């Protein structure tokens, strides 16, 4: 009995010592810096104009310095619509993607992007608090994205036709005569993406309040049909449904288009080219985008991906991207002291429009405003029919 007690006591001390040793090792590993070596590349899927290395203008380059400092060569593929981005992310092969809210929830639900521990993202605390927990990249308290830029889908117009800024989206939705005395038929464009149904719904929120629309992404069957009817009528005046940013630039330059929904990116390009172009947000408000950088679940270069995430939200990069694209930085401190953006750049790019911008979001059947809404797969099918004249 006595020897058995002594032996048991020794075994207990050995077991406790082993557990303490394992615990100490775990703490050491947790506290240790990331020792992974950069893999040499980072593959990014992005909107046009979001990842620049100075090809368009040598002043706008936030890639070359990163490559030299990190050892990670940046390879970029651009996409023109959120649907295209979802398809490409489902195929895989990318580390990161800059995604809008009408794509993010689909990829989260499909488990194509992985959670991000924001506590390990340098600079996270500097991100606009209004964006940190946004519902388009945060689900059940888990973050899947790091905010990058945001902005408004503006009404771009030709100042040689409109001496004063148009005050309503009616110039692209309704048949009308422009200030130069000519009809708008064949002189306006609309966006080639199902999410554009929300633009029609937003217009109807103001022009037909009896429909009771309170959220352009949450539409009952009747509200949805009213939006489709507006879009079918619009098709008779639209010259082209655009999705290629540079094609729209060419259409405004050479094809007689004088008004369209657009991104500030194209407005900036045309203004730099000396074209008579300006933009506005009409009285009905506007849709918009708040883009997040997400990590693919099977990212082949995770270390380089982490390094780019940290780089992407540094104030210098944020300000440079905003200056080039015409967007608003996700990091407010980027609005001060950036040579390219200038002291009033964020105001010019619409930082005061946050509250009146209805950010892109994937429509779902179970919605907050009225219980049951038309889901996105219907938007896709029916918008294709609209484009086809049905």
CATH number, domain at 166? Answer: 3.40.190.10
Supply the pLDDT for residue 356.
86
Cα–Cα distances (Å) from 166 to 157, 171, 353, in that order, read 8, 7, 17
pLDDT at position 20, please? 37
Across the chain, what does the average pLDDT equal? 91
What span, in angstroms and rounded, lies between the C-alpha atoms of 387 and 291? 26
pLDDT tens by residue, 291-350 = 999 999 999 999 999 999 999 999 999 999 999 999 999 999 999 999 999 999 999 899
Question: Do β-strands 238-242 and 188-191 pair in parallel, antiparallel, or remain unpaired?
Answer: parallel
Tell me if 59 is assigned to some domain. yes
> Which among 127, 109, 111 has a CA at the least distance from the CA of 119?
127
Give the C-alpha separation, 191 to 194, whole Å: 8
In a domain, 4, yes or no: no
**Which pLDDT value is given to residue 219?**
98
Q: Are residues 143 and 256 in the same domain?
A: no
* 274, 265 Cβ separation under 8 angstroms: no
* 62, part of any domain: yes
pLDDT in tens, 66-114: 999 999 999 999 998 999 999 999 999 999 999 999 999 999 999 999 9
* C-beta of residue 223 within 8 angstroms of C-beta of residue 215: no
Residue 373 half-sphere exposure, CB side, CA atoms within 13 Å? 23
Say whether pLDDT at 241 is over 60: yes
369 and 328 inside one domain:
no
Distance CA 42, CA 77 (A): 11
Contact present, 157 and 166 (Cβ < 8 Å): yes
Length of the chain in residues, anyone? 390
Split at pLDDT 50, 70, 90, the class of 371 is confident
Q: Where are the beta strands (DSSP E) in 47-169?
A: 73-78, 96-99, 138-139, 142-143, 146-152, 154-158
CB neighbourhood size of 376 (10 A): 21
Task: Examine residue 79 and state whether it is found in any structural domain, yes or no.
Answer: yes
Separation of alpha carbons 240 and 212, rounded Å = 30
Q: Are residues 196 and 328 in the same domain?
A: no
Prediction pTM value: 0.84
Q: DSSP of 188-229, one letter per residue?
A: EEEESSGGGHHHHHHHHHHH-GGG--S-TTS--HHHHHHHHH
Residues 342 and 373 in one domain: no
Q: How far apart are CA 173 and CA 207, in angstroms?
A: 11
Q: How far is CA 342 from CA 15, 272, 315, 348, in A?
A: 64, 16, 13, 10
Check whether residue 139 and residue 159 sit in a common domain.
no
Look at the block and give the residue holding tokens 């002189």: 187
How many distinct structural domains can be found in the chain?
2
Q: 158 pairs with which residues across the strands?
A: 277
Distance of CA 20 to the CA centre of its chain: 47
Q: Are residues 205 and 251 in the same domain?
A: yes
Question: Residue 6 above 50 pLDDT?
Answer: no
Residue 21 is assigned to a structural domain of this protein: no
Q: For CA atoms 95, 96, 101, 103, give the dihedral sign.
A: negative
For residue 53, the enclosing domain spans 41-148+290-351
13 assigned to some structural domain = no
Would residue 22 count as lying in a domain? no
CA 358 → CA 170, 218, 383, distances in Å?
18, 12, 20
Does residue 283 belong to any structural domain of this protein? Answer: no
pLDDT band at 34; cut points 50, 70, 90: low
* Sign of the dihedral through C-alpha 124, 130, 134, 137: negative
Co-location of 121 and 208 in the same domain: no
Question: What's the mean pLDDT in 24-53?
Answer: 74
Check: CB of residue 174 under 8 Å from CB of residue 181. no
Specify which residues 288 forms β-bridges with.
152, 359
312 phi-psi bin (left φ>0, alpha ψ -120 to 50, beta other): alpha
Task: Please give the angle made by the CA atoms of 223, 226 and 231, to the nearest 5 degrees.
Answer: 130
Q: Do residue 338 and residue 368 come from a single domain? A: no
- For residue 27, name the pLDDT band (cuts at 50, 70, 90): very low
345 shares its domain with 199? no
Q: What is the per-residue pLDDT across 150-198, written as a single tens digit (0 to 9) for each? A: 999 999 999 999 999 999 999 999 999 999 999 999 999 999 999 999 9
144 and 184, same structural domain? no
Reading the block at residue 38, the tokens are: 């950069």
pLDDT-derived band at 31 (thresholds 50, 70, 90) equals: very low
| Same-domain status, 209 and 256 | yes
Same domain, residue pair 91 and 114: yes
């Amino acid at each position: 009995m006595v020897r058995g007690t002594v032996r048991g006591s020794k075994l207990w001390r050995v077991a406790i010592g082993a557990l303490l040793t394992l615990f100490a090792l775990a703490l050491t590993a947790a506290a240790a810096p990331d020792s992974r070596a950069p893999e040499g590349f980072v593959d990014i899927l992005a909107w046009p104009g979001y990842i620049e290395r100075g090809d368009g203008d040598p002043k706008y380059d936030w890639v070359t310095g990163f490559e030299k400092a990190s050892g990670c060569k940046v390879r970029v593929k651009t996409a023109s619509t959120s649907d295209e981005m979802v398809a490409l992310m489902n195929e895989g092969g990318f580390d990161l993607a800059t995604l809008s809210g009408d794509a993010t929830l689909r990829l989260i639900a499909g488990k194509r992007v992985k959670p991000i521990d924001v506590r390990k993202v340098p600079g996270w605390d500097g991100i606009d608090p209004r964006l940190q927990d946004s519902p388009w990249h945060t689900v059940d308290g888990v973050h899947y994205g790091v905010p990058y830029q945001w902005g408004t889908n503006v009404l771009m117009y030709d100042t040689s036709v409109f001496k004063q800024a148009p005050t309503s989206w009616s110039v692209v939705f309704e048949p009308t005569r422009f200030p130069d005395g000519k009809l708008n038929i064949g002189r306006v464009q609309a966006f080639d993406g199902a999410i554009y149904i929300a633009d029609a719904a937003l217009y109807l929120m103001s022009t037909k309040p009896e429909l009771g629309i309170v959220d352009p992404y949450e539409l009952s069957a009747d509200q949805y049909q009213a939006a489709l009817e507006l879009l079918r009528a619009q098709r008779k005046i639209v010259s082209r449904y655009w999705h290629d940013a540079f094609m729209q630039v060419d259409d405004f330059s050479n094809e007689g288009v004088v008004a369209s929904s657009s991104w500030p990116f194209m407005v900036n390009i045309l203004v730099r080219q000396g074209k008579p172009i300006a933009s506005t947000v009409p009285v009905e408000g506007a849709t918009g985008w708040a883009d997040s950088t997400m990590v693919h679940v099977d990212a082949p270069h995770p270390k380089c991906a982490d390094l780019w995430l940290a780089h992407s939200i540094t104030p210098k990069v944020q300000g440079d991207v905003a200056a080039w694209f015409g967007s608003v930085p996700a990091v407010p401190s980027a609005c001060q002291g950036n040579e390219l953006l200038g002291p009033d750049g964020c105001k010019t790019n619409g930082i005061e429009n946050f509250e009146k911008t209805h950010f892109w979001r994937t429509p779902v059947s179970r919605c907050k405003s009225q219980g049951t809404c038309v889901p996105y797969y219907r938007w896709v099918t029916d918008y294709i029919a609209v484009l086809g004249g049905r």
